[in-house]
Amino acid sequence: MVGGRCNVVDELLDELARLGITLVASDDRLRYHPRELVAPELVERLKEHKAEVLEIVNNPCPADRLELEPCGKCGGLELWKNLIDRWRCLKCEPSETLNTK
């Protein structure tokens, strides 16, 4: 997307996933639960990027992103998928839920 907006939306979705918040699209509405975990600041960010978030929630795996890309920070290919179907680098962004021992 233009101007790095995609990165902002990805960061927002990652933050929501880390908090255990689930997003559901219903027509042009975006629902989230558990509602009590969503701070007012997050609600405002969701409103600001609603169209992009709806597009991602409705189409979690766009055809042009099917191939894995190396991590932009370390170049590694040891990746894990977060709750919103986004690939993350195991070295740079370790998952708290993965057993890495």
Question: Over the chain (101 residues), what is each successive 10-residue block's mean pLDDT?
Answer: 61 87 85 90 94 83 55 75 73 63 43
Q: For residue 4, give Cα distances in angstroms to 7, 9, 45, 49.
A: 5, 9, 15, 13
Residue 46's domain comprises 2-63
Q: How many structural domains are present in the chain?
A: 1
pLDDT of residue 60: 64
pLDDT of residue 51: 92
Paired residues of 26 in beta bridges: 29
Residue 53 lies in a domain: yes
Residue 71 lies in a domain: no
CATH number of the domain residue 56 falls in = 1.10.10
Name the pTM for this structure: 0.55
User: Which residue is associated with the tokens 């370390």?
Assistant: 74
